[in-house]
Amino acid sequence: MPELAEVETIIRQLEKEIINKKIEDVFCFAPVVLKNIPLSSFKRDVMGQRIKKIERKGKNILIYLSNELVILIHLKLTGHLLIGKYDAKNNQLIPREERLKDPINRFIRLAFLLNDNRFLVLSDLRKFAKILLLKPEELEKELQSIGIDPLSNDFNLTNFKNLLTKKRGPIKKFLMDQKYISGIGNIYSSEILFEARIHPLKKIEKLTEEEIKNLYKAIKKVLLKAIKYQGTSAQDESYRNLYGEKGGYEKFLKVYQREGQKCLRCGQVIKRIKIDNRSAFFCPDCQKI
C-alpha cells in the first residue's frame, strides 16, 4: 500500500493529531501484527505513555513514547492507520458487526485508545503489516540497513551517482531496494522511470550521465508532487490517509496500471512486464533501454 508519499502524508497528519496524547489502552484483534513482543507486554509497556515524537524512516512509521520506547509500524501492502473511528456514545471501538461492513474498518487488527477518547487504529487486510516495540538501541539496529531518504538534503546528485556504482542490473530493482534509497515502491518506481524516459530494464551500468541526472531529478519531482497530492489510492481498498480519505495522485499516474492504454506523451500503447516478480509499467517508445 504505502510508499514514501503515502507514509509521509500519514506522518504529517499524525503529528497534528496525536503528539502529546496519552495511550490509555490497547485492543488487539490479530496478535500476529505484534512481531517482537507478546500483547500483554506490549500493553504493559505502552499504556499510560505519552506520544512525544513522530518520524518516518523510509516507509516505517516511528512513534516515540515518553518512556523512551519506540513503536515502529510498517504498513506493508494493505495496512492503514486511521484515527477517530469509534463509538462516541459508548466510548469504545465501533462494534464488530458495524466494523465488518466497512471495507476499511473490517480489517482492524489493533487499536490504541487515546486520552482524547479517539482511537488510532491499524487496519490491514492481508495481515502483512508489522508493529514492533523497540528500545532506542534496538531501533537503531532495525533501521541500520535503510538507505538514504530521497527528500533529505544528503540526497544530492553526487551521492546518487555513488550509490549507483554499488549495484548492477535493472534500474527498477535498484530504485525499489530500500537499502540504497528508502521509500520508493512499485508505483513510483514506474512513474519515476517514465518521467526520466528510462526503460525499467535498463542496466544501471549502462546509464548515461544525462540519464542519471534526469533520473535524479525525476525522483525528486515525482515524489514531491505525490506528497503534495497526498499519495496514490490505486485501487478501491488501497491507501487511505489518517482520516480514511483517498489520495489525490491517481489522476497524475502516467504508466502505473495503465497497461493497454495510450501513452499520454506519444500515443504508444503502455506495456507491462515482470521485473523481480513485480509488475513494471512503461512506454516502449518514450523509455529507452
Partner DNA sequence: AAAGTAACCTGCCCGC
Partner DNA sequence: TGCGGGCAGGTTACTT
Q: Which residues are catalytic?
A: 2-3, 59, 278
Interaction of residue 234 with DNA, rule CB under 7 A: yes
What's the min distance (Å) between Cβ of 28 and DNA? 14
Q: Is 59 one of the binding residues for DNA (CB under 7 A)?
A: yes
Query: Is 91 in contact with 150 (CB distance < 8 Å)?
Result: no
Number of H-type helices and E-type strands within the chain:
8, 12
Applying CB under 7 A, among 24, 32, 115, 269 the residue interacting with DNA is 32
Q: Which three cell numbers stand for residue 35?
A: 512481531
Q: In the bound complex, what is the minimum distance in angstroms from residue 179's beta carbon to DNA?
A: 8
Q: Does 186 bind DNA (CB under 7 A)?
A: yes
Using an 8 Å Cβ cutoff, are 64 and 55 in contact?
Answer: yes
Of 20-28, 111-119, 215-223, 276-284, the window that binds DNA (rule: CB under 7 A) is 276-284
Minimal distance, residue 78 CB to DNA, in Å: 6
Q: Considering only residues 42, 51, 58, 83, which one is a binding residue for DNA as defined by CB under 7 A?
A: 58
Task: Report the C-alpha gap between 214 and 45 in whole angstroms.
Answer: 47
Q: Is 74 in the site for DNA (CB under 7 A)?
A: yes
CB of 53 to DNA, least distance (A): 21
Segment contacting DNA (CB under 7 A): 8-16, 69-77, 114-122, 151-159? 69-77
DSSP string, 171-236: HHHHHH-TTTBSS--HHHHHHHHHHHTB-TT-BGGG--HHHHHHHHHHHHHHHHHHHHTT----ST
Q: Please say which residue, 39 or 77, places its beta carbon nearer to DNA.
A: 77
| Binding to DNA, residues 114-153 (CB under 7 A) | 125-128
Question: Does residue 187 interact with DNA by CB under 7 A?
Answer: yes
130-134: strand order across its sheet: 51-57, 60-65, 70-74, 130-134
Strands 130-134 and 70-74: antiparallel
Coil, helix or strand at residue 102:
coil
Applying CB under 7 A, which residues contact DNA? 1-3, 32, 58-59, 74, 76-78, 125-128, 167-169, 176, 178, 185-187, 232-235, 237-239, 247, 276-279
